[in-house]
Amino acid sequence: MEFTIGKMAKYVGISPASIRYYESIGLLPSPIRTSSGYRKYSLRDLERVRFIKNAQRLGFSLSEIGYFLYLSDLEQKRDNSENLCSSVQKEVRKKISELEEKIERLQELKKSLEAMLEKCTSSTTSTCPILAALGEGSRAETETKEAKK
Amino acid sequence: MEFTIGKMAKYVGISPASIRYYESIGLLPSPIRTSSGYRKYSLRDLERVRFIKNAQRLGFSLSEIGYFLYLSDLEQKRDNSENLCSSVQKEVRKKISELEEKIERLQELKKSLEAMLEKCTSSTTSTCPILAALGEGSRAETETKEAKK
DNA sequence: TGTAACCTTAAAGGCGACTACAAGGTCAAG
DNA sequence: CTTGACCTTGTAGTCGCCTTTAAGGTTACA
């Protein structure tokens, strides 16, 4: 089963240009070519691209994905699957805690915005209280410490 | 009370280059200059920059911030503060629902990753189950819809 | 045989929000 | 009067992940 770049792309749901891009940054090996120079991909290649797409959907960057692929390519050669597995786990745990941080931050932002809305609907000031809140500054900084040089 | 660009920057906690950048994209008006060409800022300007920074911390993009500033500049001229306030509220609500979407998405990603970890710690396969899971494909797509253009 | 729909490469563009650099002018202190 | 820390402009570079364009070669089909 062999594919041109266009078919691969369609199967995985990305553009041929993306596939060439993955190749250019080393995520995909240079495939064999037809006599006229067309890239020829195997099912293995298709799966590799699918792997990239899946991992990307899970929030991994291409360089993190590159690390996964590097690890699993290592596995092919010498068998250190124990080591491999723990490296992968470590990476996944790291990503999970990154996600937790992001989630928390976004929840805080949401809370702040909701508080501002609340203020706004319950007020009758002439100026918009949201804009006022946004403008509010740590005005102190202007004259407190920071006598500055 | 007047400031050079460097003092403004220090007070707000950003770089002079950022301030020039804000000016270049129209978020800040061109300030008056000293006889030698130095930018000279007022307290109003300082507050405007502070506004930008605060809004940014709350997750607004510079173009959204530009819209806020446009609205509040309008308020200065003719008084349509009612209209203004509801426009601002609308924007804030939009941002809140964007945040909710993002949060949900990240929580789903987190769940998927946790499920993968779970599988990994409870398995004794030779190949890493996480990598296997990532490689798994919606193989069906290979032949379904997407006649495309 | 014509032509549409592929494929090739290299290079440039785009987003967002800057940062860095070069080459020079100005200002305050010692 | 000299230093060093500011300021000016313009241009280019950064990051991640592509997309677009240009200029051409190949293949499948009617």
Which chain A residues 36-55 have CB under 7 A to strand C?
A: 37-39
B118 touches chain A (CB under 8 A): no
Q: Is the CB of B53 under 7 A from strand C?
A: no
Across the interface, whether the CB atoms of B113 and A120 are under 8 A apart is answered no
Q: What is the residue-averaged pLDDT of chain B? A: 86
pTM for the whole structure: 0.84
Query: What pLDDT was estimated at residue B143?
Result: 38
For residue A32, CA distances in Å to A10, A35, A42, A70, A129 come to 19, 10, 9, 20, 64
Give every CB contact of residue B15 below 8 A, 6+ residues apart in sequence. Answer: B9
Q: Tell whether A113 is within 8 A of chain B (Cβ).
A: yes
Protein residues in reach of strand D (CB < 7 A):
A 14-15, 17-18, 21, 34-38, 56, 61-63, 149; B 4-7, 16, 20, 33, 37-39
Closest listed residue to residue A130, CA positions, set A139, A138, A121, A143: A121
Which residue intervals of chain B bear CATH 1.10.1660.10?
2-65
Which residues of chain A does B81 touch, with a Cβ-Cβ cutoff of 8 Å?
126-128
The answer to whether B66 and B86 have CB atoms below 8 angstroms apart is no
CATH of B2-65, one of 3.30.230.10, 3.10.105.10, 1.10.1660.10, 1.10.10.10: 1.10.1660.10
Could you give the CA distance from residue A52 to residue A99 in angstroms, rounded to a whole number? 19
Ranges A22-26, A142-146, B16-20, B127-131: which has the least confidence: A142-146
B118 alpha carbon, distance to own chain's centre: 34
**pLDDT tens, N- to C-terminus, chain A (149 residues):** 899 999 999 999 999 999 999 999 999 999 999 999 999 999 999 999 999 999 999 999 999 999 999 988 887 776 666 678 888 999 999 999 999 999 999 999 999 999 888 887 776 677 788 888 888 765 434 433 333 33
Task: Nearest by CB to A110, from B96, B110, B131: name it.
Answer: B96
Assess B82–A contact: CB distance below 8 Å, yes or no: no
Secondary structure (DSSP) of B17-45: HHHHHHHHTTSSPPPEE-TTS-EEB-HHH
The protein residue nearest nucleotide D6, judged by CA to C1', is: B6
Q: Where are the alpha helices (DSSP H) in chain A?
A: 5-12, 16-24, 43-57, 62-77, 81-121, 129-135
> Residue with CA nearest C25 C1'?
B36
Give, as one character, the DSSP assignment of residue A25: T
